[in-house]
Chain A
């Protein structure tokens, strides 16, 4: 009886392990195919799709880079860095007020800030276009910066607030006894203590901004200012017959975020555990 169950256990275990590995292959193989196709020539691409490239020539990567990917990359980096810093800073500031200060109608304020979590960006799209046209911000860097900050504040505040709530109030009182004002306590004590959640907020915002599509497409239509997701679809329509160049462009867009994820995985998972896991 014991041997029968253990045999069953071994079979089940082997089955589970093979399933998990097969799934990992299904996830990885398309990405590997993408990277390898960036090294192929057009005729190789139309031969056997599973074949390896005949040579590791960087031509397609150079072509993609010169046909706009470098400029999309610069725009993406600029928008990502500025909006991430602004979002995390404003959200931390608000989270401090929500957890540390007495505010009239505080429940309403909290509901208004976190309520933004439930709103789909598409719902505000048409009025936002009119508004940004009227403000003269349509097709500018500022449009993307403002929109990314506005639509990311609710989630980022939610994460940071959940973390700050657990920091004991005695810390603030001790700071006050030492003569530090609220702003001073925020900068020198609370913010450094929130480092884990700030790091994960930064990573999550980078992932979001780097990959955002709807706003980038609508608010930078036709301009020189294009982020990678929009630039790639342009590369596809402009150089649609040179597929290997498109694959190279896709790889250039994907590699930075994959690297970021692997380098920061530990903090990232910890932040998710702290914020969303509650």
Chain B
């Protein structure tokens, strides 16, 4: 009887497990296998080459530059979409009018609802030297010397893409932080006010510690996302000019589908896997440690 009931439980989780097994975990393992193989584009066969693809990777300057760009993405996103968003959420939730709080949360979120493709195309035009509003605005305030082809130069392309991503993504994390702040019991703030604690110390001593869990989660999500960036880079620059705005996934895409070098692309994918896995394990370590503390 008991055994019968235990097996029946499988019927509930089997569909999810089966789909995940075949279309998520199996390809993940296959990717490791592919990364130690060389694919014959014309013959269609493949042969074992050991660590050759990884050695190629270590000597590939574009790979390192892409990794650097992903790291810049991660750093800027942490500042804007985690710490900036937390501060912003605290400012919004500190407003007296409920109507304004709700309106601002919604307005900030709108760019996150539209696709990165639309946002990317939109900023492609905003950065456009002739018809874009960025250069036009700079000219308008007399900063003509700063006008430039933002996406067309090696020095500015990746930064222009990163800036767009912040515009697109900050509202989502601000909304999540606002939800976390709303969960803080109001009497903690009231007590702090009675003690004559000013808004800055109230933020540091009440808001920051009591939203720590959400902050931890957002750090993980943001870091992991920064190493998976693809859509906006593809739409705005395709990794150019001269590979200056290449990121790991766009370089993987170019190697795999541009050059049919599947083994090398799989090796890049392994690096992305290790980076995102590292971030995930970091999260597990932190949550486990916290559980012990409690």
Tell me, yes or no, whether A binds B: yes
Inter-chain CA distance A127–B21, complex, in Å, is 13
In the complex, which of the residues A109, A149, A229, A243 contacts B131, with contact meaning CB atoms closer than 8 Å?
Answer: A243
Closest-CB distance, A10 to chain B (whole angstroms): 13
A257 touches B266 (CB 8 A): no
Closest-CB distance, A131 to chain B (whole angstroms): 7
A150 touches B19 (CB 8 A): yes
- Cβ < 8 Å to A, chain B residues 120-151: 121-123, 125-126, 130-133, 136
A26 within 8 A of B: yes
Inter-chain CA distance A102–B123, complex, in Å, is 52
Inter-chain CA distance A23–B95, complex, in Å, is 15
A146 touches B107 (CB 8 A): no
B179 touches A272 (CB 8 A): yes
- Cβ < 8 Å to A, chain B residues 1-46: 5-6, 8-13, 15-17, 19-28, 30-31, 34
In the complex, which of the residues B24, B132, B136, B234 contacts A119, with contact meaning CB atoms closer than 8 Å?
Answer: B24
A277 touches B131 (CB 8 A): no
In the complex, which of the residues B11, B183, B269 contacts A277, with contact meaning CB atoms closer than 8 Å?
Answer: B183
B176 within 8 A of A: yes
In the complex, which of the residues A16, A98, A120, A269 contacts B228, with contact meaning CB atoms closer than 8 Å?
Answer: A120
A199 within 8 A of B: no
A211 within 8 A of B: yes
B252 within 8 A of A: yes
B231 touches A213 (CB 8 A): yes
B246 within 8 A of A: no
- Cβ < 8 Å to B, chain A residues 111-154: 112-113, 116, 118-131, 146-147, 149-151, 153-154
Inter-chain CA distance A69–B131, complex, in Å, is 24
- With a CB–CB cut-off of 8 A, which chain A residues contact B117? 211, 213, 228-230, 232-233, 253
B109 within 8 A of A: yes
- With a CB–CB cut-off of 8 A, which chain A residues contact B234? 213, 217, 233
Inter-chain CA distance A235–B109, complex, in Å, is 27
B175 touches A94 (CB 8 A): no
A253 touches B118 (CB 8 A): yes
Inter-chain CA distance A90–B121, complex, in Å, is 35
A218 within 8 A of B: yes
Residues of A within 8 A of B (CB): 12, 16-17, 19-20, 23-24, 26-31, 33-34, 37, 45-46, 48-50, 90-91, 93-94, 96-98, 100-104, 106, 109, 112-113, 116, 118-131, 146-147, 149-151, 153-154, 157, 182, 207, 210-211, 213-214, 217-218, 221, 228-230, 232-233, 236, 243, 246-247, 250, 253-254, 257-258, 260-262, 265, 269, 272-273, 276-277
Residues of B within 8 A of A (CB): 5-6, 8-13, 15-17, 19-28, 30-31, 34, 88, 91-92, 94-95, 104-111, 113-118, 121-123, 125-126, 130-133, 136, 167, 171, 175-176, 179-180, 182-183, 199, 214, 217, 224, 227-228, 230-231, 234-235, 248-249, 252-253, 256-257, 262, 265-266, 269-270, 272-273, 276-277, 279-280
